[in-house]
């Protein structure tokens, strides 16, 4: 007999809760840099931020391959995600529509799909779990949804990741969209946001 892991629970009320989470995700994406709290709570495997768990359950479905980064490719996460969303898990990062990543173990951003000039919407959305969304401000974000500019900390992501993201600006409209999640809070960083790192 094959040993099976019983998955963690998901949304208690999928219809209402996924809409509430979707609203939070939408608000966050419309206001890059603003910390948004995902009020609705989903059951989730241990170690995964509730905000990102809710985001995954809301966004991922049968048509969206998900890539689980190092740290999240455990049986507990796989079983949970497959059970609740039905999303196929892909071993190839470039095929992923969504990717779940840990800030401490970030692969190169270019391993993900940026979409094409004809279909920029094919670019991947990366859900990154970070240790915190506060800290010493180290960069300025500018772009649609931000009045003037907003000072942001590195949020526990390495400098190299931010440099890669900065370099991506010239690819626009191709690129990747990021959600940085910590606990029940998240910050969105769409590809339209330009980043200037202070002192760089």
- By the criterion CB under 8 A, which residues form the site for other proteins? 1-2, 4, 6-7, 9-10, 12-14, 83-84
CB of 23 to other proteins, least distance (A): 21
For other proteins, the closer of residues 80 and 154 by Cβ is 80
CB atoms near residue 179 (< 10 Å) = 25
Whole-angstrom distance, CA of residue 188 vs CA of residue 27: 9
CB of 138 to other proteins, least distance (A): 42
| Count of positions (residues) in the chain | 200
Residue carrying the six token digits 């859900």: 127
Whole-angstrom distance, CA of residue 7 vs CA of residue 77: 8
Q: Alpha helices of 3-49 — where are they, by DSSP H?
A: 14-30
What are the b/e assignments for 98-110, b being 16+ CB within 10 Å? bbbbbbeebeebe
CB of 26 to other proteins, least distance (A): 25
For other proteins, the closer of residues 10 and 33 by Cβ is 10
CB of 154 to other proteins, least distance (A): 38
For other proteins, the closer of residues 84 and 191 by Cβ is 84
For other proteins, the closer of residues 6 and 170 by Cβ is 6
């Amino acid at each position: 007999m094959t040993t099976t892991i019983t998955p963690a629970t998901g949304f208690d009320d999928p219809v209402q809760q996924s809409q509430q989470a979707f609203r939070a995700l939408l608000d966050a994406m419309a206001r890059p840099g603003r910390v948004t709290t995902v009020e609705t709570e989903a059951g989730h495997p241990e170690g995964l931020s509730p905000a990102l768990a809710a985001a995954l359950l809301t966004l991922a479905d049968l048509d969206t391959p998900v890539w689980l980064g190092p740290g999240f490719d455990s049986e507990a996460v796989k079983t949970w995600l497959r059970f609740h969303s039905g999303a196929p898990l892909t071993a190839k990062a470039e095929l992923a529509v969504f990717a779940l990543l840990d800030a401490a173990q970030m692969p190169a951003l270019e391993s993900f799909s940026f979409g094409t000039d004809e279909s920029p919407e094919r670019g991947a959305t990366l859900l990154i779990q970070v240790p915190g969304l506060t800290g010493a401000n180290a960069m300025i974000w500018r772009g649609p949804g931000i009045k003037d500019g907003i000072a942001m900390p590195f949020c526990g992501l390495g400098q190299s990741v931010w440099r890669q993201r900065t370099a991506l600006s010239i690819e626009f409209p191709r690129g990747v969209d990021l959600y940085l999640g910590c606990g029940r809070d998240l910050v969105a960083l769409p590809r339209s946001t330009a980043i200037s790192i202070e002192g760089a």
